[in-house]
Amino acid sequence: MISVDQYSHFQAYLEVRQGRPVNLMSTSRRGVIKDEAPNRLCDFIRDSLFGYFSRTPVEEIDPLELMQFYHDYPAQASKLPCFVAARRKRYESGNDVSKMTSLSSPQVLSYENPPLLLADKAQVVREDGTVDSVEYGLHSFLELIGAAYKVMDADELRLDVRRLWWKPGEQVHITNGSPQIFREAGQWGLGTEHEPPTEWREVSNHVVFAFSDPNNWGVENVDFTVGGADPQDFYQTDAWAGFDPQNREGRSYQEMSESYRESCEREIRNLIGNAVPKNFSWEDLLRFVPEGEQIIAVSPVYKSKRKRNPDSVILLLSNNDEIIRLSLF
C-alpha cells in the first residue's frame, strides 16, 4: 500500500488489471511521483463518486458521505440531483438556548421535490415598521408552521429557502417596573430575507418569542420579545430559552443557573409582589426577614376550604408583632 497526498476526505481502493494509474518512485516504491497521473486518478475517483450520487436513490445514500462530497467537490456537487437537510425540532418549554435550534438527523432529499426549507434567522416587524433579523425564536413557531428543514449542504441557488416573519401585536403594559417585553401574539408568515409574506396568519393561542442575545447570568439581559404569554408563566418556563450555559466566563454551571433562576424569580415578584416558589427553601423565606429577626412560624393560606394547596404563606417573626405574607408561584 503506497500513500498518496490527501486530495479529498474520501478513500478509494482501485483494482488495477492493466496499465499504471500512477508512477512510483524507484527502487523501494517509497511513494508516488508528483506528476499529472495522481491528479488524473483523483479526478477519476471524483467522477465515479459523482456518478454514484447521481444514480443512487436518495433513500440509499448516506447523508454524511454526501455532505463530504459537497465539501470536497462543491462545483461537481452543485450539479447533483440531491442535497442534505435536517428537520428542525420543535422548541420544548424550559429548554435553554443550547437546545433552541435542535435538529433531527440529516436526510438526503431531492431538488425536484424538496420540503419546506427555513433559514435560521427570523424577521421581526417592530411597531415603527422597521424589521430586525433575530438569531433565536424560529423553533417556538414550529407548532404553527409544521414540518420544516434546515439546509445542511446544497446549491441554495436551486432551492427556495423561506424565512419566518413575525409581526407582534400591541404591547401588554405591565406595572411594577417589569420589562416591557410582552405583546399580543400578533401574526406570522413566510417570506424571504428581504420580502415580507404575501399572506399573514394569526398566531392565536400560542406562546412565541424571539431574541438575539442570550445571557448566562440574568434574564433581564436577554433582549426578549414575547407574544401571547402570561408573564408569570413565561418567567417560570420559556424564559429559560435565553439562558446560555456555554458562556462560562470562568463561572460554574451551578453558579450561572442559580443566578439566572433568581433573576426570573425577581421578575415574578415584580409582577405579583413578595413571593416564593411553591417548593420554597428556608433560604427563600429568609430573604424577606429583616436583619435581627427570626421566623418562629410558617402558616399556609388557602383561597377557600375546598383548595388542597395553599396560594400563599404567612411568616410570623420573632418580635410577635410583624407578619410577612408571601405568594406562592
Cell of 99: 437546545
Domains in the chain: boundaries? 81-272, 274-329
Residue 8 has pLDDT above 90, yes or no: no
Residue 123 has pLDDT above 90, yes or no: yes
C-beta of residue 114 within 8 angstroms of C-beta of residue 154: no
Cell of 129: 415598521
Give strand pairing partners of 211. 136
User: How confident is the model over 217-261, as pLDDT tens digits?
Assistant: 999 999 999 999 999 899 999 999 999 998 777 889 999 999 999
Q: Is the peptide bond before 27 cis (omega within 30 degrees of 0)?
A: yes
User: How confident is the model over 106-118, as pLDDT tens digits?
Assistant: 999 999 999 999 9
User: How confident is the model over 175-207, as pLDDT tens digits?
Assistant: 666 678 999 999 999 999 999 999 999 999 999
Q: Give the separation between CA 175 and CA 271, rounded to whole angstroms.
A: 8
This prediction has a pTM of 0.80
Under DSSP, is residue 209 helix (H, G, I), strand (E, B) or coil?
Answer: strand
User: How confident is the model over 126-151, as pLDDT tens digits?
Assistant: 999 999 999 999 999 999 999 999 99
- Residues whose CB falls within 8 Å of the CB of residue 139, separated by 6 or more in sequence, listed in order: 88, 89, 90, 91, 100, 101, 102
Residue 266 has pLDDT above 90, yes or no: no
Q: Residue 80: which of 56, 106, 59 has the closest Cα?
A: 56
Question: What mean pLDDT comes out for the span 149-170?
Answer: 98
Tell me the CB-side half-sphere exposure of residue 155, using CA atoms within 13 A: 16
What was the pLDDT predicted at 322? Answer: 81
Q: Give the separation between CA 163 and CA 124, rounded to whole angstroms.
A: 11
Residue 87 has pLDDT above 70, yes or no: yes
What does R_g of the chain's alpha carbons equal in angstroms?
29
What was the pLDDT predicted at 208? Answer: 97
Q: How confident is the model at residue 29 (pLDDT cuts 50, 70, 90)?
A: low
DSSP string, 66-99: HHHHHHH-HHHHTTSSEEEEEEEPPPPTT--GGG
C-beta of residue 111 within 8 angstroms of C-beta of residue 153: no
